[in-house]
Amino acid sequence: MKSWRRRSIHWTLLVAGWTLGACAPPVGPPATPARPADAGPGEEASATAGWRHDWAEGAVFYEIFVRSFADSDGDGVGDLRGLAARLDYLNDGRPGGDDLGVDALWLMPVFASPSYHGYDTVDYERIEPAYGSDEDFATLLEEAHRRGLRVIVDLVLNHTSSEHRWFVGARASRADPRRSWYVWRGGDPGWTQPWGGTNRVWHAAGEESYYGVFWGGMPDLNWRNPAVREEMARVAELWLARGVDGFRLDATRHLVENGPGQLQVDQPETLAALRDLAARIRARFPEALLVGENWTGPERVALYYGDDARLPGGDGLPASFDFALASALVAAARDGDASGVRAALAATAALYPRAALNAPFLTNHDMIRVTTELGDDLEAQGRAAALLLTLPGAPFLYYGEEIGMANGPGRRDEEKRAPMPWTGDGPGHGFTAAAEPWHPFTGDPAGRNVAAQFAAPGSLLAHYRRWIALRAGSPALRRGDLFLLPEAPAGTVAFLRRTEGERMLAVHHLGLSAASLPLPFPCAALSAAEVDGAVELGGAEGEGCTLALPARSSWVGRVATPRP
């Protein structure tokens, strides 16, 4: 995978030649779904071989909470058959269609669990019965792959449910063979959760306590135990062999704890365990994607990529979510000041391995939805989406963001994960035939739903479709390097994306008043590919062009290569 590191550029030199030196390698053909690497008789593929992630670089992912996406059987709960029936909305597999155009799906937990959210697994080998059967999941994978959609699923490595048979046996007897699969000690030393507050992380069980950083119903696995590491690697390989294309790895910062406070996160043993897991998966399934949930700043996220000298992009996790950039994107769209976005891009470029795959996003299932964060300002949401979809890496969208789906009235997780409104017809709004869905709809489902926006050219959904299509049709936007233009106005993010044969200039003005941006290119070298707002180009012949940017506008276009 190619670099998107920010480099020092003397932009004045570009006025005359507007060239950026040696081009990045050409874009390769799409890869096939994740599968074991070929190996000769009796030999394993080398763990030092690189990942084959051409399919993931630049891909647009769509995060789905299956319970809330589409209900096929009328019980008020979304399921796998319902999701399969809605795949054409996401990507119908045909070029030039009116689908959303995403490339891959991330399914929140689909393994058996006693909770609505699924993050407390009771069986890593079985699909949650409320969502359907193992056969339903196999059919979903087949239908997704037939359309060219990849599918990654949540894998909860850090903990199990307290109802998992492993923990039930371990809690009942010190002699249980899986007692050491969990973390025990005598008494409660008084540690609290590392992100703050007063919640204790040690939970009484007879004369001893067990460690569970999130709560007592989710006991942490003991990642110091080789048997645990072996079992979780086996589970990962099992689902990859069944056809999934990778995993979003939950709570990866918390695998090993060495004491109270910040000694519960980012420990060397955690990094070593993830390196080992990545090497094992890479050896057999080099096209499988692993995306870490490392909710912290770029300095610490960089640790999870591993050593770039050992493997291009690092020998740890090949991708991590960019939480710092997400906060900066939403703040910029809300406040009209893009300096935080520029700083976040510069920080990740300076700290991450050169070939690292970033995973930018706006919000996810643990966060207040972007619509609510932006005060239901659709124009601000449009600017945030356009910026996200022109950035390097693999951007992730949260289901419903493309229609401006709002958060519920509270801050509980359920309010962030409400059902998807497909139509304006109540009470099920196309999500379910039941009189009541598992959770009430949020916002204005009768007025803001997929059907209402699908054929409306000025809708937020149409806006997302246009920008995703622009990205899909541009090698530079999907996989190119990023060069930030310096000294842009406070409300503006401007950058050049470049691959061999194509240079794309993206200018996003999130400011609440008009601005102008001088460019190191003559206007004749620029051809617009997508414009939101009455952006105007001006400048004398042979001189640099100036973009006149109305409030909240975007201009993306190709930069011609000058003749020698």
Residues belonging to the active site: 250, 293
Amino acid at 559: V
Residue 453 makes CB contacts below 8 A (sequence gap 6+) with: 403, 459, 460, 461, 462
- Distance between CA atoms of 20 and 11, rounded to whole angstroms? 9
Q: Give SS3 for 153.
A: strand
Pairing relationship of beta strands 492-499 and 481-484 according to DSSP bridges: antiparallel
Residue in the block written with tokens 């994607």 = 289
Those residues whose C-beta lies under 8 Å from the C-beta of residue 229, and which sit 6 or more positions away, are: 223, 273, 276, 277
* CA 94 from centre of chain: 24
- Residue position matching structure tokens 């409306």: 456
Which residues does 377 contact at the CB level (< 8 Å), separation at least 6? 333, 334
For residue 111, give the amino acid letter. F
Alpha-carbon span 405 to 415, nearest angstrom: 11
Contact status, residue 149 vs residue 102, Cβ threshold 8 Å: yes
Residue pair 372/406 in contact by the 8 Å Cβ criterion: yes
For tokens 């690189």, the residue is 50
Query: Quick check: 497 and 477 in contact, CB under 8 A?
Result: yes
As a dihedral over the C-alpha atoms of residue 524, residue 530, residue 533, residue 535, rounded to 10 degrees, the angle is -10
CA nearest neighbour of 23 among 377, 344, 475: 475
Structure tokens at 503: 């240079």
Residues sharing a CB contact under 8 Å with residue 313, sequence separation 6 or more, in sequence order:
1, 50, 51, 305, 353, 354, 355, 356, 357
Three-state SS at 283: helix
Question: Exposed, middle or buried, 11 (CB in 10 Å: 0-12/13-18/19+)?
Answer: middle
Alpha helix segments (H runs only) across 242-322: 268-284, 298-305
Nearest-CA neighbor of 104 among 291, 370, 362?
291
The 3-state secondary structure of 179-230 reads HHHECEEECCCCCECCCCCCCECEEEECCEEEECCCCCCCCEECCCCHHHHH
How far apart are alpha carbons 464 and 395 in whole angstroms? 13
Strand partners, 127: 111
